Amino acid sequence: MERYRLEEGLVVGRKALPQGDLLLRFVTPKGSLEALAKKGLRPTGRSGRLSLFHHVRFQVYAKGEGLPTLTQAELVGRLHGLEEPRRFLLASFLAELAYRLASPEAAPRLYPVLVSGLRGIAKHPEPLLPLVWAGWRVVKAGGLAPSLLGPGLHLPGGRLGEEGVYLGEKGVEALRAILHLPGGEALAYLEEAPLERLFLALKGHAEEALGPLRSALAL
């Protein structure tokens, strides 16, 4: 197994460690990845290229079962607009959800949805709309799509019923569109949909399968 390998993806998590090191999380088209950038916070380090939501091309060194070490990093692109607090929180939720679901099998489908969703959150007048679209599409790519065949206008336990988060007819119609129609067509259904309830249903559905999402606490 090669110890050095090249990767490309989005920075979706970073944590400062003692001695100026950075613990980084990436979502790539191949899956989720955690790596250590030694001395990454020093003035001569790579911190500027490794900010949240930056698109980077990087090299890691892996030895045995230990945490890979980042050895090179090149900034490919950055998203402008996510600095605004609410947009940043929504982007963080989507990024954490994607990181948790980006298995090697799901990542090729999930990664382009994550990129598109973050761009929408950065630019759309109502950032909750692209988050709802991308969040449910990420859930679907990760193999956790709910069943919408049953009766009822609530979403409990991954299927429609008479309890759980109330979506209403517009909400159920929009969720069906998100899960089954191409992106552009599905977005039209969200213009009149109950976005807050669709987000609450997304949060509950994801956390039921994955456990608590830290980024959801701030929303």
Indicate whether 14 pLDDT > 70: yes
Q: Which residue has the tokens 């950065």?
A: 122
Q: How far apart are CA 113 and CA 46, in angstroms?
A: 27
Task: Render pLDDT for 85-115 as a digit per residue (tens, 0 to 9).
Answer: 999 999 999 999 999 999 999 999 999 999 9
Q: What's the confidence (pLDDT) of residue 157? A: 77
**Across the chain, where does the E strand assignment appear?**
4-16, 22-28, 31-37, 55-61, 69-77, 154-155, 165-166
Q: Which two tokens stand for residue 123?
A: 């630019």
Indicate whether 45 pLDDT > 80: no
Q: Which two tokens stand for residue 191?
A: 């213009």
Q: Which two tokens stand for residue 174?
A: 């929009």
Q: What's the confidence (pLDDT) of residue 48? A: 62
